[in-house]
Amino acid sequence: MFDTIIFPILVVLIIGCLSGIMLSVASKFFAVKTDERISQVRAELPGANCGACGYSGCDAYAAAIVAGAKTNLCVPGGSTAAQKVSAIMGVASEEVVAKVAVVKCTGNKNVAGYVMDYQGPKTCLACNSFYQGSRSCSHGCLGYGDCVEACQYDAISIVDGVAVVDRTRCTGCGMCAKQCPNHLIEIVPATARAFVGCSSCDKGAYTRKVCKVGCIGCKKCERTCPNGAAKVVNNLATIDVNLCVNCGECAKQCPTGAIQFCMPKLVNTQS
Amino acid sequence: MREILMILLGAVLINNFVLIKFMGICPFLGVSKKLDSAVGMSVAVIFVMTIATAVTYPIYTYLLYPNFAYLQTLVFILVIAALVQLVEIVLKKYIPALHATLGVYLPLITTNCAVLGVTILNIDEGYTYFQSIINSIGAGVGFLVAMVLFNGVRQRIEGNDIPKTFQGLPSTLIAASIVSLAFMGFSGVVEGLFG
């Protein structure tokens, strides 16, 4: 009786108890002091680990906040997270500038062609490294969706061969922008309504040949803009978001429709 | 010396825990996508396997054997889990750099069957204490070899155009079985070398 039942029970019980005691003693004895604010701050962050704040994840950012980093760097969390975090840290809350991604190419398959029947790996990166991609415009969106893969919010999709951002879902974290091999995606303040849907620096005549909606560098927007926000640099229109007052004149005047004018935080409609 | 080499090479190549004995398949498929996480996991496995053997072997020999040998699975799991927790606490305090490197993998492998497997197999094989330690290190290195090799295979698969039915896990499992078949070719090599 003792040998067959009681002793085995005792053995396991004692080993278990010893392990438990040893662990609890060790956790007291070897305790590392961690600031409890780190876990509090971490709880307020959205946990997307997107890296928009510039740290390697929400855990790293929470540690950095407690160490003295700014509280308004979390783009997906927005002002709500920033306020709560600031309250925990006891510092003045600063506004988070809401951001949104824009794709600086609108040359979908109806308006811009392809120069090859690409059969390689179905990623933008691979396609772009093969003779600058399959599009007739070497700056254009390749449409294999590297950005779609990167997006954690289902905010970007490929429509007619071009990436389109859903402004209602986009948090402006910038994960997609890092993936695009042609660097077509830019993160702009969500209030900015006008953006240039083209990234081609080629001469106007060539751009017109390969894409119907490309920027041809005609400078009409530059002349139209009342505030000097639109500038043509290197055959490509650019809009300075700090100067732009969202009047929409440039988009109306643009002969090819390369300048997009959309409602703030609404679906980015293609013209 | 010859015996040690035989055990070590045998554990790495012929009795590879992942590819021949099919233990620890979960981390093998789960963390072999990126090279740095694969290496991190493997280093943690080597570490835990060695320590686990060092502790469980005397427990079995002096406490459980011969009357309570049937308790070994239960006791080993208990001891390994507690041990890994202890190691984690100590590492966090004294070697934070290593703790950060091993990171989440250390607690993950607490319940890894490869770790439990190596401790039990050491006893089944009738190794001495020293031989057991060598075998555990070999098993861990074998795990590392399998992980790193398979990481290379997976990266080659990633960029390819795979039929939809085979995308993801199916193609990974097929690739794993082919790598496993390749490792079966090692059987008899060590006996040929040293025997």
Do residues A214 and A162 lie in contact, with contact meaning Cβ atoms separated by under 8 Å?
Answer: no
**Beta bridge partner(s), residue A267:** A166
Q: What is the pLDDT of residues A61-120, one digit of tens each?
A: 888 888 888 888 888 887 788 888 888 888 877 777 788 899 999 988 888 888 888 888
If contacts are CB pairs under 8 Å, which of residues 126-155 in chain A contact chain B?
126
User: Is A30 in contact with B159 (Cβ distance < 8 A)?
Assistant: no
- Going by pLDDT thresholds of 50, 70 and 90, the confidence category of residue B135 is very high
CA angle B145, B147, B149 (to 5 degrees): 65
Residue B111's pLDDT is: 73
**pLDDT (tens digit, 9 = 90+) per residue, A234-252?**
889 999 888 888 888 888 8
**Are B39 and B166 spatial neighbours (Cβ–Cβ below 8 Å)?**
no
pLDDT (average), residues B21-48: 85
Mutate to test the interface with B, among A11, A127, A149 (most CBs of B within 10 A): A11
Rounded to the nearest integer, the mean pLDDT of chain A is 85
Question: Taking CB atoms and an 8 Å cutoff, what residues of chain B touch A24?
Answer: none
The CA distance from B81 to B34, in Å, is 26
Nearest to A12 among B74, B90, B92 (CB): B74
Q: Which residues of A213-231 are buried (b: 16+ CB within 10 A; e: fewer)?
A: bbbbbbebbbebbeeebbe
What is residue B195's predicted lDDT score, i.e. its pLDDT? 65
Picking from B41-45, B95-99, B102-106, B178-182, which range would have the lowest pLDDT averaged per residue?
Answer: B102-106
For A239, the enclosing helix (H) or strand (E) is strand A236-239
Extract the tokens encoding A21. 């005691």
Residue written as token pair 């004692």:
A14
pLDDT at A34: 73
Q: pLDDT tens digits for B51-80?
A: 999 999 998 998 887 778 888 888 899 888
**Number of A:B CB contacts under 8 A?**
51
Instruction: State the pLDDT confidence band at B130, using cuts at 50, 70 and 90.
Output: very high
Fold of A36-89: 3-methyladenine DNA Glycosylase II; Chain A, domain 3 (1.10.15)
A71 and A91 in contact (C-beta within 8 Å)? yes
pLDDT at A264: 65
Q: What is the mean pLDDT of residues B2-20?
A: 88
A99-261 has which fold?
Alpha-Beta Plaits (3.30.70)
A177-193 confidence digits (pLDDT tens): 888 999 999 988 888 88
**Gyration radius of chain A over CA positions:** 27
Task: List pLDDT tens digits, range B15-31.
Answer: 888 998 888 888 888 88
Could you tell me which residue, A33 or B195, shows the higher pLDDT? A33
Contacts of A230-234 with CB under 8 Å at 24 or more apart are: A230/A259, A234/A201
